Each structure stands twice: as structure tokens, then as C-alpha cells.
Amino acid sequence: MSRKEIVENAFAERFGYQSSGIFHGPGRVNLIGDHTDYNDGFVLPAAINFGTDIAASLREDRRVRVLALDCNGESSEFSLDEIAFDQEKMWVNYVGGSLLALMKVYPDIRGVDMVISGNVPLGAGLSSSASLEIAILKTVAALNNLPLDGVKAALMGQDAENNFVGCNCGIMDQLISAMGKDGHAMLLDCRSLTFEDVPVPPDLEIVIINSNVKRGLVDSEYNTRRQQCETVAKTLEKPALRDLTIEDLEANKRQLDDVSYRRARHVITENDRARDTLDALIKNDTTRLSTLMKASHDSLRDDFEVTTKELDGLVSMIDEIIGESGGVRMTGGGFGGCVVALAPKEKVQQVFNVVSTEYPKQFGLTPDIYVCRTAPGAFRE
């Protein structure tokens, strides 16, 4: 049974009538460009075929009734006029926060009945939260016939997460979920919110490996890294590290301590790598792609210091298999989480076999391996 059939059948069973539509918001993976988003820089994510499905119908009143199949069948009911933070059911806050953000622009929407289910692996860095936010916004906007576009929906999803859920995320996750193009990745300018689609070569598969390292340091260290970047920009009198070239940084190296210099060097060179990867993908230049992804991982390890021995080990063992025929690097915030590989189809099984056997031997952990394909965003026509 497909996920659409699952939510459709659950809706009929729960509410006693047929839903009027099924709506979807995809998850995402970032191919290159980490810790650049909050520096007004460039990222290169792709929407993937894991996501959130919602069966829904419009109501005549302002009530919202929602069932979350993946949260032990929990449900919630509330009024659009009385949305409050739910301390017991965190998933409800992504729903309520998205609706509040939508109502800042469209205050007169009607309520909905919804059944939600998703297959984005939780904790794998594939952005299950943005997938849910964009799916909610797509659902309610479509049912209410609202002229909501993908960029505005992405900003609403970010607003929900920043100001209601309480997570200080950037815009990348929501924008790629809303505006990704099937068969493509997206080079996104996190300052202007302009983007360029780039084809992912059809002979390359997106392989994501979750290291399953517990990410205990991620929040405090993330905030520290962000503060270090902002301090360098302020010291060198720039709005953000986005506005510095590597030549600028070298010329002003004496003004910075070694750690600050290396943090800035990662961001500046990572912005360059993201833009260069666009060109490598357009030209299907896997040798260049391999070099760029390796350099990104090395920079995240040495200059930004956010990898772990497990992530480094995964990258090394996968790189031995795919070499210059693809690329591999850590992806996400670091201190655990995932690596992403662009691997030739004929080598995917070998990657799977080696990671499944060697990673547990070396590190005592069992990896989760996902072979993904690109997918269209929720608002992409």
C-alpha cells in the first residue's frame, strides 16, 4: 500500500468521510555548502523522495483536527484562534506554528481535518521538520485557494520554526522542500533567496549514510561556531563572511586568532566550492566533483572542526570505492549525523556492502543507508 493510500484510508476511518486531497512535502539532503547559510552564503541541496504526506479536507468552521500516524497515532484538536504551544506533543507545534505564520498573511482561512504520515528518517539530517511545515502550508493553502508561492511558504516555515517551535534554523530546508525541481539540485543564495537549478547526472545515485553517532555537542558547538563567524565579520567590518574573499581574509590574518581565521577560511572556501559544484554538475565533471566534495569534508574536519572519527571513517571507506567517479563528504551540522555520496549506479551495491560490514567492525555502530532520488518541491509546478 502506498503512503497516499495509507493516509487516505486512515482519514476515512478517522473522520468518517473521504478526504478531498493528498498533499506532499519532500525532505532534502545538502550536497555541499555547510555552515554557509547563516553567513549569508551559498548551499546546494536537493529535494528527495522521502517526505510527508497529508490527507485533508476543508471544514466550514475554524477548527483543526489532526491525526499523526507516526507519533503513536496521537491526535490533536484546536481552534485557529487559540493556537498555543503544546509541551506534551512536540509535533503539534510544527502544525500550529505553520498555521500561525500563514495567518499573518491570510487571517481568514477555514479549518481543516488532516491525517499526517511521513517516511523521512528522524535524526538522519534529512529535514523531517521542514518537510512537515511545507506539507502543512501546501495543504492549507490549496484547500483555501490561497495564492501562496514557494518562496513565501518557505519563509513561513522558517518563521514557524524560529519563532514558535524555537529552533534557529536557516532558510535552506524549507526552500528546497518547497521549490526543488525533479532531477535537479539547487544552488541557493541564502541572502537574496534566488536560486539556480542544476541537473544531477542521471548515472549518479544519492546515497546517504547515517553514522548513528549521538550528537550531544551539536547545539552548544553550533552556537559557538556561529558566534565565531559573526565576530570575524564584525572585526573585518563586513555584513557577513559572505562578503569576504580569501584574499581579504589573508590580508587581514593578523587581526584574527588562529581559530577565528580557520572558521572564516572554511566558510569563504565553502561558498566557492558550492558555486564550483554547480559548474561541475552542469558539465558532468565527476573528477572535479570528487575534488570539491573531498575538499569540503577536509575543511569541515580541519578548519571548522565539526566532523567525528566515524564520519571521517565513512568518507574514507566510500572514497576508496568511488574515487573520481563521484564524491562523498559529511553533510549537515556535524558532530555526528550523516555523510552524503554521489555514487555511480554500478558502485552503489559495493558502497552498501562495504559500509554495512566495515563500519560496524571499525566503530561498533550500525549505519542506516538510504539510496535516494531527487523529487519535486511541494510548490514546484
With contact defined as beta carbons under 8 Å apart, do 64 and 114 qualify? yes
How far is the C-alpha of 143 from the C-alpha of 161, rounded, in Å? 23
Q: Is there a contact between 124 and 338 (Cβ–Cβ < 8 Å)? A: yes
Residue 81's CB is within 10 A of a number of other CB atoms, namely: 10
Q: Report the chain's C-alpha Rg in angstroms.
A: 21
Burial of 17 per CB tally in 10 Å (0-12, 13-18, 19+) = exposed
Residues 180/46, Cβ–Cβ less than 8 Å: yes
Distance CA 222, CA 19 (A): 42
One of 173, 276, 303, 319 is an active-site residue; which one? 173
Q: Which of 317, 65, 48 is nearest to 185 (CA)?
A: 48
C-beta of residue 293 within 8 angstroms of C-beta of residue 329: yes
Buried b (16+ CB within 10 A) or exposed e, 171-185: bbbbbbbbbbbbbbb
SS3 207: strand
Selection from 258, 281, 123 nearest residue 187 by Cα: 281
Q: Is 145 left (phi over 0), alpha (psi -120 to 50) or beta?
A: left
Nearest to 7 by CA among 20, 17, 22, 27: 22
C-beta of residue 43 within 8 angstroms of C-beta of residue 331: no
- Torsion, Cα 300 302 308 312, to 10 degrees, reads 80
Q: In one letter, which amino acid is 353?
A: N
Rounded CA-CA distance 164/169 in Å is 12
What's the rounded Cα separation, in Å, for the pair 195 and 373? 20
Which amino acid does the sequence have at 372? C
Catalytic-residue membership of 189: no
Catalytic residue set:
173
